């Protein structure tokens, strides 16, 4: 029974460290969801990844490590999702029979922070955001805040300019069509 109280205290510690980012489903055996972000001093424009993980332990915890799984992620491809989970699980194996919930949560944040960079291709030009040949060669890029998609700055500016021209042209076409209809439009087919 004393061990159960220690586990509950550990769950409370996780809650106090992570606050609203931690949802306790059950105190004993521990079951929680944790929303994690990279350490960027809460500058959201510098956050290119985030994840929600689940940690579920059995009644044998801490003798048996908890199950760690991914609930959701943004900005992480399958390879980086797998790497994140395997790093957290490896940490659990390094701490046999120890209370490890806080350590696993910290490992998750540290690993996610190391992965905090855009990955993949620009959705507009389909070229890599970061050159595969030279990781130091980066074109300026932008991130959409809601979905974490990244674009080369030049590509998004060109697209935006094109969109503005299209909107102007469409407005002109609608205006001329409206004017044409007001002036009698096409008289063919109007005769009975």
Q: What is the pLDDT of residues 100-128, one digit of tens each?
A: 999 999 999 999 999 988 777 888 888 88
Find the CATH number of the domain harbouring 58. Answer: 3.10.110.10
Q: Lowest mean pLDDT of 3-12, 61-70, 121-130, name the range.
A: 121-130
CA–CA separation, 53 and 4 (whole Å): 23
Q: Lowest mean pLDDT of 26-30, 77-81, 84-88, 167-171, name the range.
A: 167-171
**Is residue 14 domain-shared with residue 82, that is, in the same domain?**
yes
Provide CB contacts within 8 A for 120, sequence distance 6+: 77, 128, 129, 150
Q: Mean pLDDT over all residues of the chain?
A: 84
Mean pLDDT value of segment 92-105: 92
Q: How high is the pLDDT of residue 176?
A: 67
Q: How high is the pLDDT of residue 29?
A: 93
Question: Which of 79, 114, 149 is where one domain is finished?
Answer: 114
Question: Which of 114, 136, 155 is where one domain is finished?
Answer: 114
**Is residue 124 domain-shared with residue 107, that is, in the same domain?**
no
Q: How high is the pLDDT of residue 192?
A: 44
Question: Which of 84, 114, 144 is where one domain is finished?
Answer: 114
The answer to whether residue 141 scores a pLDDT higher than 70 is: no
Mean pLDDT value of segment 33-46: 85
Domain that holds residue 55: 2-114
**Is residue 109 domain-shared with residue 124, that is, in the same domain?**
no
> Rounded to 5 degrees, what are φ and ψ at 178?
-65, -45
Mean pLDDT value of segment 148-155: 81
Cβ atoms 119, 131 nearer than 8 A = no
């Amino acid at each position: 029974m004393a061990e159960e109280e220690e586990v509950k205290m550990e769950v409370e510690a996780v809650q106090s460290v992570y606050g609203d980012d931690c949802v306790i489903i059950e105190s004993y055996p521990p079951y929680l969801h944790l929303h994690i972000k990279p350490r960027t001093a809460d500058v959201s424009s510098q956050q290119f990844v985030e994840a929600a993980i689940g940690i579920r332990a059995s009644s044998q915890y801490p003798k048996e490590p908890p199950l760690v799984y991914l609930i959701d992620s943004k900005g992480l491809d399958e390879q980086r999702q797998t790497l994140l989970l395997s790093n957290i699980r490896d940490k659990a194996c390094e701490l046999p029979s120890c209370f490890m919930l806080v350590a696993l949560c910290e490992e998750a944040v540290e690993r996610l922070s190391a992965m905090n960079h855009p990955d993949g291709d620009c959705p507009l030009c389909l070229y890599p955001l970061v050159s595969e040949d030279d990781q130091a060669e980066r074109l300026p890029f932008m991130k959409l805040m809601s979905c974490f998609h990244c674009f080369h700055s030049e590509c998004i500016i060109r697209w935006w300019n094109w969109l503005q021209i299209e909107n102007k042209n469409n407005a002109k076409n609608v205006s001329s069509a409206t004017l044409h209809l007001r002036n009698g439009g096409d008289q063919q087919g109007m005769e009975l």
